[in-house]
Structure 1
Amino acid sequence: MHDLDHRLPSFEAALAQLPPAPVHGAESDEPFWDAVSDLYKTSTALTNLENGYWGVMAEPVKEMLGYWIDRVNFENTLWLRERWPEVLERLRHTVAKALGCEPGEIVLTRGATEAMLALIGGYNRLQPGDTVLYSDLDYPAMRSAMEWLRQRRGVVPVSLAMPEPATRQSVLDAYAEALRQHPNTRLVLLTHLTHGTGLVLPVRELAALAQSAGAEVIVDAAHSWGQLDFDASSLGVPYAAFNLHKWIGAPLGCGCLYIRRDSLAAIDPYFGDRDFPDTDIRSRIHTGSPSFAAWLTIPAALQLHRRISARAKEARLRALRNHWVEQVRDWPGLEILTPNDPRMVGGITSFRLRGRGSPAEADAVVAALRDRHGVLTVRRAGPVRGDVVRVTPAIYTRREDLDRLVEGLRELCR
């Protein structure tokens, strides 16, 4: 046993104290979620409803990160030079099993953005004059990358405005019409759960729609893994990127790139990478030295995620979203940017005060909620019809935290 290994049993002990995840009615089992909340230590200076930036670690996971920081710095290259390739491969198998895919279909990255840029920039099935399609709700860095393909590949980028208010059918119709208007579309960017408004796209159906029009899709799943209960194969797409440091609860700097085995050739090796053969997905990204301790903490984060269960997390986060939305949806002057269709929403939802969608006006709403009501939210840009204010509970959020938001909105809507 290593000199530091006496710290390891505390992680298992912490998980053992957590009651089993409810089989039925998980979203309203308050004693269970109180026990989950007790695993987190966060500031009470404000009620934090801006948990979309990244997901803070539970205390047991944070302790494991501390263990690995000490271990890596204590042994340094004595351990890493000898063991890292083997350990990294085990990590890849662990993440692949959790994601529901083959180990040979993923490679770890420092985040979904890094993975998405490698996919978009490396996609090699485009010809000059082809169209690439993205939407106003895609992440800014991804929209920029799609525009950059004009220089990279000589293509024509086209932006689609997501319908407001959105329904499942209106979203499908919007993409169908865009593909009809642009028959040369060969690549479509889709965001599984949009960062700005929280809208969940019917990715599988949209991917089939794109394929029937002669296009492929790249999926940004930065916000969906851990917030929704699904696996990689259920998306029905060849390329996707995921975060583990948002809703899975791993340390910052943890993500992965997914390429379905039959589609690897469509993504170029990363800057001509020669560390791995062209038939190996690991040639599609080169991260250099990652945060070793952060990556070594991934199994602990996944273990806690499984203990709580993806099904229970999805149900709870949607219930927290519904708790505040159902109280305010019909208020005059307030626009809610996601529908109540459970297939199209998770925990994130944004709102806009009607006619007040400029950056300054949205910032003023954020400031009022923060300074007068002690509630932290954030402005998000992107939607064509104006900026929005994003509300993002976490699994440790309590219903009374959302009631504080409702009281703030009540004052603003007067």
Structure 2
Amino acid sequence: MTLSRRAMVAGLGALATSLAPKPPPSRSPAPEPLAVPGGRTPDQLAGDEGFWRTVARRYRVSPDFVNLENGYYGIMPEPVRHAYHRNVDRLNELNSHLLRTSYKAEADRVRERIATVLGASVQEIALTRGGTEALQNLISGYNRLRPGDAVMYADLDYHSARYAMNWLRDRRGVSVERMVVPEPATRQGVLDAYATALRDHPKVKLLLISHMNNRTGLVLPVREITAMARDRGVDVIVDAAHSWGQLDFTIGDLGADFAFFSLHKWMGAPLGSGFLYIRAGRLADIDAAFADETYPGDDIRSRVHSGTMDVAPILTVGTALDFHEVLGGPVKQSRLRFLRDRWVHQVRDIPDLEILTPEDPAMYGTMTAFRITGRTSEADNVAIAKDLLDRHRIFTVRRGGPARGDCVRVTPALFTSRDDVDLLAVALRDLASRMRG
């Protein structure tokens, strides 16, 4: 059948109309913009439950349990969730037209926003599908290792990062060393442990450091450890997946040349968003991903090749950063530490209950683990987490890895109330008394 010219023009007009952005389908209304009260310090605002109730209303949280396991990933606040749905719809409607026209420019604007908040340049940022992809690309791509060299990580480092470091044994012909972070930890004790480990293993050329580890929540003095390593000719890759957005810092505060970050944890972006950082002047020390030729070798984006990916999370990062900046890093940090202090300070006197972060505020955020003395197996701590859920509707998670045994991790969030963590304190007293009995 032959189409008339009029029919063809009408068809092209319909196609153009279909490519235009459409309003999203009807959903729950977006909340009013959040306003932060002025005239108070972040620490003063941290205990203002009235204000934090207004923040909590920006989250859709299940009423079926008290969620104190927010370390896996962060629930999106409502403005971010609405933006994500719009971007899913937009991607689905525009399809490859979006990916082949405006997406790269939009992704670069996201990189610029990240760089601004982080205190970096856009040329030092490459987007990834999460912190794990970022860590794998940095560790596997690090090309300064030679057979006979060594790499090192600690007992508290993230398991996926440890796996990637172990992989270097066959990939680069290196040995893999494991050190133990002292427990209980102090700032000086941690510095001494790293100094001793580097001194005792002079062949180490690459060190993995967790700014905040995902097992106990301990925050390390990364800048000092990095400087110590650099003096010995050791490069450092920093795991900042849990710290960025939970703690208030910029990349300059870490002194890092290489670091990886998650955006779907404490920045509240959708699952599937993260980035890696390579300091200017160090790009040549990380190989292009799979000999990527999409970008020139002097472009950091050549260090990531994700294929065709869901770009809706990336397109939503700007909205997540907007929400973060409305509250501000210092306010978020103060509130999250307040919640940790609220329950920890109520249970420190309980016999045989070990809190695995010290009282030094520079060494914790909101994520903290506890252990019942002598209950160090995986089965023990799975049972403890189950007991808290079954008896008190409190959701936590067992964590393994620390040299002195397994533990249970507690992770409040911005929507967590003072009553929630008070309930945990009551539950832990009940738990400890029954275990002693």
Q: Assess same fold via TM > 0.5.
A: yes
TM-score class, shorter = over 0.9
Q: Which residue of 1 aligns with 2:137?
A: 118
What is the TM-score when the length of structure 1 is the normalising length?
0.96
Equivalent residue number for residue 18 of structure 1: 35
Q: Which amino acid aligns with 1:269?
A: A
Alignment of 1:35-46 (within 5 A): 35-46=54-65
In the alignment, structure 1 residue 81 sits paired with structure 2 residue 81: no
For residue 174 of structure 2, what is the aligned residue in structure 1? 155
Q: Does residue 1:95 correspond to 2:114, yes or no?
A: yes
Identity %: 51
Equivalent residue runs for 1:308-387 within 5 Å: 308-387=327-406
Aligned twin of 1:243:
262
2:208 to 189, 192, 196: 189
1:160-179 alignment runs, 5 A limit: 160-179=179-198
Give the distance between the partners of 2:349 and 2:190, measured in 1 at CA: 22
Determine the C-alpha separation between the residues in 2 that align with 1:265 and 1:210: 20
SS at match of 1:252: coil
CA distance, structure 1, for counterparts of residue 265 and residue 38 of structure 2: 21
Question: In 1, are the aligned partners of 2:49 and 2:418 still within 8 Å (CA)?
Answer: no
Instruction: Tell me the SS of whatever aligns to 2:102.
Output: helix
Residues 196, 382 of structure 1: 8 Å contact kept: yes
> Aligned runs of 1:232-271 on 2, under 5 Å?
232-271=251-290
User: What is the letter of the counterpart of residue 324 of structure 1?
Assistant: W
CA separation in 2, counterparts of 1:21 and 1:374?
Answer: 36
List structure 1 segments (4+ residues) > 4 angstroms apart after TM superposition. Answer: none
- CA offsets 1:189-230 (integer angstroms, 9 cap, x no match): 000101000000100000001011110100111100100001
Matched, 1:390 2:406: no
The change in CA–CA distance for 1:152 and 1:33 in structure 2 (over 3 A counts) is same
> What are the Cα deviations for residues 101-139 of structure 1, in whole angstroms up to 9, with x where unaligned?
000000110101100011111111111111211000001
Matched residue SS, 2:163: helix
Q: 1:39 to 1:232 in 2, by over 3 A?
A: same
Report if the CA contact (8 A) 1:14-1:60 is conserved: no
Q: Which runs of 5+ in 1 are unaligned?
A: none
Deviations 1:279-329 (A, max 9, x none): 111111111122221111111010000001111000000010000111111
2:309 to 279, 282, 290: 290
Map 1:213-228 → 2, pairs under 5 A = 213-228=232-247
Q: Post-superposition shift, 1:46?
A: 0.7
Structure 2 residue identity aligned to 1:67: R
TM-score by length of structure 2 reads 0.91
- 2:208 touches 2:238 (CA, 8 Å); kept in 1? yes
How far the C-alpha of 1:403 sits from its partner, in A, is 1.3
Preserved contact between residue 18 and residue 35 of structure 1 (Cα < 8 Å): no
Change (3 A) 1:363 1:21: farther
Contact 2:340–2:366 under 8 Å retained in 1: yes
Look up the equivalent residue of 1:237 and give its one-letter code.
Answer: A
Partner of 1:134: 153
Query: In 2, distance between residues paired with 1:192 and 1:22?
Result: 31
Q: Mark the CA change 1:22 to 1:350 in structure 2 (over 3 Å): closer, same or farther.
A: farther
User: What's 1:410 paired with?
Assistant: 429
Secondary structure of the residue aligned to 1:297 is helix
RMSD: 1.6
- Please, which runs of 5 or more residues in structure 2 have no aligned partner? 1-19
Moved more, 86-95 or 148-157: 86-95
How far is the alpha carbon of 1:96 from its aligned partner?
1.3
**What residue identity is the alignment partner of 1:386?**
G
- CA shift, 1:6, in A, is 11
Distance 2:431 2:59 in 1: 31
Is the Cα contact below 8 Å between 1:18 and 1:36 reproduced in 2?
Answer: no
Q: Is the 8 A contact 1:130 1:156 kept in 2?
A: yes
2 CA distance for matches of 1:57 and 1:357? 34
| Bigger Rg over Cα | 2
- Kindly provide the CA deviation profile for residues 123-177 of structure 1, in whole angstroms up to 9, marking residues without a partner as x: 1111111121100000111111111111011111110111010000000000000
Residue type at the aligned position of 1:378: V
Residue 35 of structure 2 aligns to which amino acid in structure 1? Answer: L
Partner of 2:50: 31
How many residue pairs get aligned? The number is 411
